[in-house]
């Protein structure tokens, strides 16, 4: 905890003065460009990976970068998605998984989670990804986990499109979805191409995006 407090003091002394004008502008309003949904894993920091300043990203982080399908009892993720899309009018949504994800490893390897019932219940939102992944053949445990990470991003992209605010924004042509996989060791990102239905290197495919379930009417 001492290091965390010292970090804050360093921010207050060194980093804040350099961005004083930015924080003054952000004091009473925000206008983020994108909603970034990622895992809570400490090794993935959205603002660091994307090199964004405060105010640029509206971030949701949870175990497994999960977005529950829209339902009658909305939770915090649902409310945050709705606020970002309907109130803040973000133009892009990124769902970002990552390598060596603990949540996806537990699912892929069928690890017992009875001692963590809340986690076990939460990861049920990845059931569709688990079923698809189990139907595939994998050369190794490592490939099984990597495949689970990919399938989960695809599943959560489908889930988020059940949210009314998201479906409306897509139908009006003002929202684009993106699915990313961040590799911790190499710092690279693979992006889901909705046309080929494959993950491709983002650095070589800058315009890669997810094709919406319902395209804007002509």
pLDDT band, very low/low/confident/very high, at 51 (cuts 50, 70, 90): very high
In this prediction, residue 216 has a pLDDT band, given cuts at 50, 70 and 90, of very low
pLDDT at 212: 54
Mean per-residue pLDDT, 172-194 = 97
pLDDT score of 71 more than 60: yes
Average pLDDT over the chain, rounded to an integer: 94
pLDDT for 76 beyond 80: yes
Quote the percentage of the chain above a pLDDT of 90.
91
What are the extents of the domains in the chain? 31-70+88-204
Determine the pLDDT at residue 14: 94
Residue 214 in this model has a pLDDT that exceeds 50: no
Its CATH architecture, for the domain 31-70+88-204, is 3-Layer(aba) Sandwich (3.40)
pLDDT at residue 149 tops 60: yes
**pLDDT surpassing 60 at residue 129:** yes
What's this model's pTM, rounded to 2 decimal places?
Answer: 0.92
Q: What is the mean pLDDT of residues 113-128?
A: 94
- Closest by alpha carbon to 166, among 128, 214, 130? 214
CA–CA gap between residue 40 and residue 25 (Å, rounded)? 28
Q: Which of 73-77, 125-129, 145-149, 169-173 has the lowest average pLDDT?
A: 73-77
Sorted by sequence, the CB contacts under 8 Å of residue 62 that are 6+ apart come out as 39, 40, 77, 122
pLDDT of residue 66: 98
Which pLDDT score is estimated for 168?
Answer: 97
d(CA 178, CA 194): 9
Distance (Å, whole) CA 188 – CA 186: 5
- Distance (Å, whole) CA 39 – CA 28: 28
């Amino acid at each position: 905890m001492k290091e965390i407090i010292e970090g804050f003091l360093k921010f207050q002394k060194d980093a804040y003065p350099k961005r004083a004008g930015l924080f003054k502008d952000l004091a009473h309003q925000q206008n983020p460009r994108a909603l970034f949904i990622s895992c809570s894993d400490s090794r993935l920091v959205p603002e660091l990976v994307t090199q964004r300043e405060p105010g640029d990203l509206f971030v949701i982080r949870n175990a497994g970068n999960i977005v529950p399908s829209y339902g009658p009892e909305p939770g915090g993720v649902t409310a945050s998605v709705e606020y970002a899309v309907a109130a803040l009018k973000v133009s892009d949504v990124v769902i970002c998984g990552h390598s060596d994800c603990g949540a996806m490893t537990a699912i892929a390897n069928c690890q017992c989670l009875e001692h963590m019932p809340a986690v076990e219940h939460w990861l049920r939102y990845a059931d569709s990804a688990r079923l698809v992944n189990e139907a595939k053949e994998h050369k190794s445990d490592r490939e099984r986990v990597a495949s689970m990470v990919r399938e989960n991003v695809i599943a959560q992209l489908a889930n988020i499109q059940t949210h009314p605010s998201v479906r409306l924004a897509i139908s009006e042509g003002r929202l684009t979805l993106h699915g990313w996989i961040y590799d911790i060791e190499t710092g690279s990102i693979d992006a889901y191409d909705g046309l080929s239905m494959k993950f491709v290197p983002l650095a070589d495919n800058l315009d890669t995006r997810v094709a919406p379930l319902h395209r804007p009417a002509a």
